[in-house]
Each structure stands twice: as structure tokens, then as C-alpha cells.
Chains A and B, each alone.
Chain A
């Protein structure tokens, strides 16, 4: 039996017809952005609930591109918050502590809620600082 030195070449073509959901999604984002300007209404689109062909999600993210803000949070695993090239349109990706994606959203808002310091956390931080102060030497 001949010894196989390299993997055989497989010819796998990519799909020629896609779900065509990328453009409607971008229109939805456009409407959401107009609404944000109009009455400040926020919109969140859960990308996990939509049928997209392999490669289409990337196409959507490529269309949205990357803007001025990139933030990485560490709360129950990392979260990436990226403002797209369209201000007010954010891509929020939640990971678990094994770096696996557990949620992917497009948020249309001035700032995603998760970026703000939360009241409860501010309160806890204040108590922590007060407790820490006596131990701080000049």
C-alpha cells in the first residue's frame, strides 16, 4: 500500500446562494439607528436567533467594520464591545471563561449598558475604598 505523505486535496465549493439575510439585517440596523436619533430608543439584535449561512455572519461584521472604540471586559469571562464604523452601532460578544462564544449581539445605542459602571458595583467599590483607606500610608 503506498504511503500517504500529505492529505488529499479536497475540492469543496462554497455555497453560491446564501440566505440573503445580510442586507435585510443592515436595513434593520439602519432603521434602528434612525430611531435612536429620533427618540433615543435602543435596539438589541440577537445574532444567535437568526439563520445565517456559513460566512454570512462574518460578511455582516465586515460590512459593519470597526470604529473608534474597542473595549474588553472581564466579568464572568471576557466580553468584547466594539463600536462599528457607524457610530451608535455596537457589536457585543460574550465569551465564557474558556473563551467560547456564549452570546453575540448588535446593539444600537449611545453606549452599551455593560460599559457603564453599575450602581451596585459603585456602592460596593465605595465600601471597599473606605475599608482600604486606614491601611494606606502617606
Chain B
């Protein structure tokens, strides 16, 4: 697809019929979590959409976000959306490296100045710029330089959106989020560890379709995907409402698929689309597989006081997210909190610490 060609023209040139295009639009609307009644508007907008240039920068990250996107089933509607952007720089995916890669980035910046989308995954170290560099350029310098000509920035993954795991205590690199350094550009946070692939492409599709950034919540996340809590959209919610909980991972409640709240589920304080969009081609999501939600799309989820501690238990550090916890189930949460505290006190009294010596003794007996 050339830069002067609209998406409609490009699809027709590839032999895709109008019927195929309408199917593409229906799936795209579903992907963007827009009502099906929007399909005609999406069709009209996509027909005229031009191919945007995308520069993707990876900083302190594990490449899980790129994996999430590229390992999504293909070829797909997401794939088609991805084909319709011009990915001009992505140092994990591109063949060029070193100065040749940087030249490609600079060329894309110059050619599309003011119009390109900057996608960032990974947090940025501020304690010492030498902690993470690309072609000798510090992450911070590269971000600031590339952000200057961007139309909008998409911070993909919890590291780029909120600092993520690199920012976890004691944050040795002084990791910060994109929004901590860039103040003069629209930033769309797409957190998750990793984010759901269709959420990443859904945001790009929105920009491609409407040329604007989607409606965002207070944490800069698109409302279409992060507008409701996991808890509110969870198919196990009726168990919570009936007070039916799994207390351990192998009790009757766990086997019957009851609510995982007491096992530390962060669903009530976590805003993401996992419960409806799901993972692995819509197969399931962590709670459906029997594991509590870790709250990976929330700020400081790593320091939230323990993945397996129920939300209303006192933790060392109550995160920003936990402040607006519970909501609908406040009364039940308070009761549970009291129960948890009693249990916790009992457990602390009977708890015996296991030392290295104890472990060595067991090993020695074998």
C-alpha cells in the first residue's frame, strides 16, 4: 500500500470485495468495542483512511508486548490493520540495526513530521541514562527527540504506561512512565502485562479510522477497553454476589468455579477487557483458567501487597488503584476483610518460619 493510497483503494487493489470490506468493518467495530450500529460510519471512514507512519520504540521491557501482538493468530483483522500502517521503525522486528536502523527512524520522522504515531513499550530509566541505551542513545533522549514530531503517543504495556516491573520497589534504575517525561503530546496508555493484542490494534484502528485519539479514563486508558472492571464483566460475578468463594486452589469452591476474591483476585480494582475479549483467540482469561486476576493493567500492580492476598486485607502499600476498590461489593468486602484479618492473625500465631538450615536438612535426608 503506497502512502498516497486510501485503505479502501488498497483493499480493492488486493481483490477484496465490498462484501469482504464490510466484514472487515464489522470485525473492526467489534475489535474497537464499538456498537455494531457504528459499522457504516467505520466503513465510510476506513474507505478514506490514509496509511499512517508508526515508529515503535522499546525501552526497559521484556518484549512481551511485541510478542503479544505478533503471536496473535494470523492472518487476522488485526493483521490487516497492522498491514495498513507503515511500521517504519521497530528495532526488534526490523532487519536493520545500529546506525542504519537509527537512520530509518530519522528518515521516517522527517518525512512524516507532526503526523506519525509513536508507540512505546518499556519504561525509561532516569537514575543513570547508561542503564538502557539504543545505538548509544539513552532511552530518555530518544523518547524526547522522537516525541517532538509525533501526532500522538501510544504507551503499550504497563511499563510504558505506569513504569511497570522495572519501577517495582526499590526501582533501581529510577524507571518512569512515558507520561512522566512527555507533557505536551496526547498519550494513550494501553497497559497490561502484556496488553491484549486486539486492544493494541484496536487503538491503532481507532486512530486510523477517525484520526483522533479515543475517549480516555483518568489514567489515560481508552474507555472502550478499560471502561469497566474485570469484576463487573466477570462470569464468576454471580458467585461473589451470592457469597460463594474458593478458599484454596483445590477446595470444592475452586472445583465448582466459584469467585476467586478470597484468593487475592484483583478483578474489582482492575480495569481491562480480559473478561469479554479474552485471550488466545477468545479462548479464556486467567479467572476462567482458575487463577485470580493479578491486576496487571493497574499502576504499581507489582507492589500491591501480594497477588494472593484478598483486596480488603491490609497490605503494606495500598496502591492508587486499591483506593477505589470494591465499589459495588463494599459491604461484602468489609465483612470479608474482617474474616481475613481473623484468619491472618490465627495464621501468624501458628506460623513457623522455615530457615535455610531446615531446607538443607530435608535435602540431606534424601
Contact = CB atoms under 8 A, between A and B. Distances in A.
Interface of A: 11-20, 44-46, 48-54, 56, 73, 75-76, 79, 94, 96-98, 100-103, 105, 113-114, 117-121, 124
B26 A103 contact: yes
A18 to B, nearest CB: 7
A138 to B, nearest CB: 30
Contacts of A73: 19, 23
B288 A54 contact: yes
Contact of A120 (B18, B33, B244, B288): B18
Given A46-B36, A51-B234, A76-B23, A12 B75 contact: no
Contact of A51 (B29, B237, B242, B282): B237
Given A46-B36, A96-B76, A17 B242 contact: yes
B301 interface: no
A19 B235 contact: yes
A121 B17 contact: yes
Contacts of A46: 29-30, 35-36
Nearest to A118: B18
A51 B276 contact: yes
Contacts of B257: 13-15
Given A53-B235, A97-B75, A48 B22 contact: no
Contacts of B37: 44
Interface residues of B, number: 42
Interface in B64-98: 73-77, 80
Interface string B260-284: 0000000000000001110001101
7 contacts: A48-B276, A51-B235, A94-B26, A96-B73, A100-B281, A105-B36, A118-B19
Contacts of B211: none
Contacts of B277: 48
B327 interface: no
Interface in B1-51: 16-20, 22-24, 26-27, 29-30, 33, 35-37, 39
Given A48-B282, A49-B30, A103-B30, A118 B22 contact: yes
Nearest to B235: A53
A105 B30 CA distance: 9
A16 B258 CA distance: 9
Interface of B: 16-20, 22-24, 26-27, 29-30, 33, 35-37, 39, 73-77, 80, 233-239, 242, 244, 255-257, 275-277, 281-282, 284, 288
A76 B239 contact: no
B282 A101 contact: yes
B18 to A, nearest CB: 4
A-B interface, 5 closest residue pairs, ranked by CB to CB distance from nearest: A44-B36, A118-B18, A75-B20, A53-B235, A120-B18
A96 B36 contact: no
A19 to B, nearest CB: 5
Nearest to B19: A75
Contacts of A53: 235-236
A114 B73 contact: no
Given A45-B36, A50-B276, A121 B255 contact: no
B244 A114 contact: no
A65 B23 CA distance: 24
A121 B11 CA distance: 13
B74 A98 contact: yes
A121 B276 contact: no
A11 B19 CA distance: 47
Given A76-B16, A94-B27, A113-B22, A49 B33 contact: yes
Contacts of B74: 98
A15 B16 CA distance: 43
Nearest to B37: A44
Nearest to A45: B36
A17 B26 contact: no
B255 A12 contact: yes
B235 A18 contact: yes
Contact of B27 (A20, A45, A52, A102): A102
A70 B118 CA distance: 45
B75 A102 contact: no
A96 B77 contact: yes
Contacts of A44: 36-37, 39
B255 to A, nearest CB: 5
